[in-house]
């Protein structure tokens, strides 16, 4: 597994929009934040473009991403925001180019599609994005602090309070995953992750509870709960129910399957679409310890 170079003061990051369009004002605070950290920002040629809901055509968005990876000065490339559309880039994504020019690819939510491909050979970061400052409730300082620690190559050790749904156990494995809905959409494709022996992280937003059950049932029927070594559950926010209640919340739906297969499972990891979004390094060997008194993740 390739680890790209860490960042030092004076280095450059790139910002592209592989999915939804974004405005200059929505990344301004992030650019200032990076400038204060003595990190320069290079903006993609089509970053502020507009093609339907996207920042550009598939070709334009892909070109921006590849151009950043080719640039020897760019040490990390951030997706400006999530939304929808990143998976459209996968057929044209040049993994060989990335392997020849190892670069951190960073983002969450829709960026799960890119992580799933990249993590076959290289580490990447599930972390805050430029839009994280512009959200209705901006993601917090602690989350950005974990990003900066990761970019500098510092170890990430997380201690998470006990949760009533935790299933105890200790495992090592390669950290993988991201947004549940995006992972579900990759099932049966060339871009689906290899789940064997992985520590799987899951988060999601704005789904009906029966949709969550449908996706988790699909994971069970594809034998993923037997394949994975451990499970980390982040935020499942703004869930919806029907007039006739589903009867379980999103976390209970996941716990029901995970407990059946005795998968060591940490609930309550502070990552997702809301205030907290602590950095995870996908593709890295990590240690997960889930105990009665709390959980620990060492990256």
Task: Assess if CATH 3.40.50.10740 describes domain 12-152.
Answer: yes
Collect all residues with Cβ–Cβ distance below 8 Å to 243 and sequence separation of at least 6.
none
pTM metric for this prediction: 0.97
CA-to-CA distance for 168 and 288, rounded, in angstroms? 10
Is the CB of residue 139 less than 8 Å from the CB of residue 133? yes
pLDDT, residue 86, reads: 98
Using the structure block, give the residue that is written with the tokens 């060339």: 190
CATH 3.40.50.10740 residue ranges in the chain?
12-152
Please list, residue by residue across 249-279, b when 16 or more beta carbons sit within 10 angstroms of its beta carbon and e when fewer do.
ebbebbbebbeebebbbbbbbbbbbbbbbbb
Structure tokens, 278? 């602590």
DSSP symbol at 229: S
CA-to-CA distance for 175 and 284, rounded, in angstroms? 6
CA-to-CA distance for 218 and 61, rounded, in angstroms? 31
pLDDT, residue 292, reads: 81
DSSP symbol at 86: G
3-state secondary structure of 172: strand
CA-to-CA distance for 112 and 285, rounded, in angstroms? 18
Using the structure block, give the residue that is written with the tokens 């925001």: 81
CA-to-CA distance for 167 and 121, rounded, in angstroms? 30
Structure tokens, 224? 């993923």
Structure tokens, 21? 């369009």
Domain spanning 157-298, CATH architecture = 3-Layer(bba) Sandwich (3.50)
CA-to-CA distance for 204 and 246, rounded, in angstroms? 17
In the sheet with 294-298, reading across from the earlier edge strand, the strands are 157-161, 294-298, 285-291, 169-179, 199-205, 230-237, 265-267
DSSP symbol at 142: H
CA-to-CA distance for 208 and 101, rounded, in angstroms? 40
DSSP symbol at 164: T
Question: Length of the chain in residues, anyone?
Answer: 299
* Nearest partner of 88 among 14, 176, 20, judged by Cα: 20
3-state secondary structure of 237: strand
CA-to-CA distance for 37 and 230, rounded, in angstroms? 35
Is the CB of residue 124 less than 8 Å from the CB of residue 76? no
CATH 3.50.30.60 residue ranges in the chain?
157-298
Under-70 pLDDT residues of the chain: none
Using the structure block, give the residue that is written with the tokens 């609930």: 267
């Amino acid at each position: 597994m390739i680890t790209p170079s860490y960042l030092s003061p004076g280095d450059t990051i790139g910002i592209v929009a592989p999915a939804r369009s974004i405005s200059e004002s929505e990344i301004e605070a992030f650019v200032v934040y990076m400038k204060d950290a003595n990190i320069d920002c290079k903006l993609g040629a089509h970053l502020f473009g507009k093609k339907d809901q996207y920042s550009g055509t598939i070709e334009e968005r892909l070109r921006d991403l590849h151009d950043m990876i080719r640039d020897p000065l760019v040490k990390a490339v951030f997706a400006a925001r999530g939304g929808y559309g990143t998976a459209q880039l996968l057929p044209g994504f040049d993994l060989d180019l990335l392997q020849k020019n190892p670069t951190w690819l960073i983002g969450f939510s829709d960026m799960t599609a890119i992580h799933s491909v990249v993590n076959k050979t290289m580490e990447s970061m599930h972390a805050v994005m430029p839009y994280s400052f512009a959200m209705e409730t901006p993601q917090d300082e602690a989350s950005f602090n974990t990003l900066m620690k990761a970019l500098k190559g510092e170890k990430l050790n997380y201690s998470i309070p006990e949760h009533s749904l935790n299933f105890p156990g200790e495992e090592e494995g390669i950290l993988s995953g991201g947004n549940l809905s995006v992972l579900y959409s990759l099932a049966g494709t060339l871009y689906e992750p290899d789940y064997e022996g992985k520590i799987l992280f899951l988060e999601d937003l704005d789904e009906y509870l029966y949709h969550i059950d449908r996706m988790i049932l699909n994971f069970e029927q594809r034998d993923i709960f037997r394949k994975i070594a451990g499970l980390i559950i982040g935020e499942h926010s703004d869930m919806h129910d029907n007039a006739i209640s589903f009867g379980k919340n999103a976390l209970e739906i996941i716990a029901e399957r995970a407990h059946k297969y005795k998968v060591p499972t940490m609930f309550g990891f502070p990552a997702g679409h809301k205030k907290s979004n602590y950095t995870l390094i996908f593709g890295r060997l990590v240690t997960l310890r889930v105990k009665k008194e709390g959980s620990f993740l060492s990256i």
